[in-house]
A and B are shown apart, each in its own frame.
Chain A
Amino acid sequence: MSQFHSHRKLEDHVFMEIAGIEFEDFEVGQVFEHRPGRTFTAEENRQHTFRSADLFARTADAEYNHKVYGGENVISETLVLSAVTAMTTKTFNKVVANLGWTDVKLPTPVKAGDTIYAESELLDKRESRSRPAQAVLHVRTRAVNQDGLEVCSFERKLLIYKRGLGPYEDAGY
């Protein structure tokens, strides 16, 4: 049990699913464990690389990867960063837009078959100076693999709506 909720009551016996913690309910120092974890495969890595118009030989050519690197399928750094960021989108669902990332580290390569788990700590929160209906969160996210080794960490700033000032009701949310 916690003070955060997954549904709001519309009327007796009728509930609508909601997601995301409100700006006002975040407190510096809170840590959120994101679930589910996520397993990576060689095939999705291939598809993501090709869809990015990237001809990286180690990904495109299994024979080359076998001869030069012993055949180990390493997941592209950009896909890892994308997946870890995406894993945070339930807790930070009131997002307006991402502003930017800093200090993105990739201490351990992610390989095909690995499963990662992410968590985020709230470092800071403040109201936006230029956008009165919105606020800025500063978070640190880190992800570990199935053996507990850190595979990715970063800090990120994102804009979120303040309570009652998002487009949710308007959009049927």
Chain B
Amino acid sequence: MAELAYASHVQIGEKRFRERYGLDFEDFQVGQIFKHRPGLTITQQDNLEESFDTLNQAMIHFDAHYASKTEWKKPLVVSTLTLQRLIGMTWKTFFKKMRILGWSALNMTAPVFGGDTLYAETEIMAKEDVEGDAACGKLTVETRGMNQDGKLVCVMGYDLLVYKRDAVPFEGVNY
């Protein structure tokens, strides 16, 4: 049997459990790798809506005829749509995230097209306490996105604040 790790639920009564995902800051260690599931298939409709929602005027994303005349042949998925999806997919591990502080680097390593399925994984690169912040610690992580063929499409390094065990704001609010 596989070895299991980290609680998905907290027991709040004899036979009552409440879903509570996410690792506390203390649980993270440098070198850990988390493979996020489920994956997510991106469609050209998603791409179109993202372009219009953000006022993106680059027609490579929404004019298929124009795209057919480029080396890509099909509309390219908006890079930052890929980024949003990859970070969204990490929620089970990082449910106790306070916020993202910023990205040190974000590289698109291969094109993403409508119909591609993305899988994300995250490696913990560094962790440290933050001066003046008793509630949260800072994680430096690298999230990588792969398509259905295992090809790396995006690599991003970023910092986020994650709540420490005694400060996770779940008590008293039914979480």
Chain B residue at smallest Cβ distance from A81: B80
A110 to B42, CA, bound (A): 26
Interface of B is mostly: mixed
> How many A-B contacts at CB < 8 Å in the complex?
141
A95-B58 in contact (CB<8A): yes
Q: Is the CB of B55 within 8 A of A78?
A: no
Residues of chain B within 8 A (CB-CB) of A92 are 58
Interface of chain A, main secondary structure = mixed
A107: nearest chain-B partner, CB-CB = B102
- Chain A contacts of B99 at CB under 8 A? 74, 77, 109
Task: Tell me, in angstroms, the Cα distance from A34 to B100 when the chains sit together.
Answer: 25
Q: Among B50, B60, B81, B87, which residue has its beta carbon within 8 angstroms of that of A95?
A: B60
Bound together, the chains give a CA A49 to CA B172 distance in angstroms of 25
For B87, the chain A residues whose CB sits under 8 A away are 52, 54, 78
Cβ B95 vs Cβ A82 within 8 A: no
Tell me, in angstroms, the Cα distance from A57 to B100 when the chains sit together: 15
How many A residues face the partner with a CB closer than 8 A? 51
Knowing A82-B54, A96-B70 are in contact, say whether A57-B95 is a contact too (CB < 8 A): yes
Q: Nearest B residue to A64 by beta-carbon distance?
A: B173
Q: Among the listed stretches A7-15, A25-33, A98-106, A139-147, which one makes contact with chain B, having 4 or more residues with CB under 8 Å of it? A: A98-106
A85 within 8 A of B: yes
B91 at interface (Cβ–Cβ under 8 A)?
yes
> Digit string of B93-123 for contact with A (CB within 8 Å is 1, else 0)?
0010101111111111001000000000000
The interface size bin for chain B is 35 or more
B101 to chain A, nearest CB (A): 7
Residues in chain B within 8 A of chain A (CB atoms): 21, 38, 40, 46, 50-51, 53-60, 63, 65-66, 68-72, 76, 78-81, 83-85, 87-89, 91, 95, 97, 99-108, 111, 158, 169, 172-173, 175
Q: Which residues of A contact B (CB under 8 A)?
A: 19, 36, 38, 44, 48-49, 51-57, 63-64, 67-68, 74, 76-79, 81-83, 85-87, 89-90, 92-93, 95-106, 109, 154, 167, 170-173
Instruction: Jot down 20 A-B pairs with beta carbons below 8 A, ordered by A.
Output: A38-B55, A52-B87, A52-B89, A53-B85, A54-B88, A54-B89, A74-B99, A78-B100, A83-B54, A87-B54, A87-B55, A90-B57, A93-B57, A96-B60, A100-B106, A104-B103, A167-B66, A167-B70, A170-B69, A171-B68
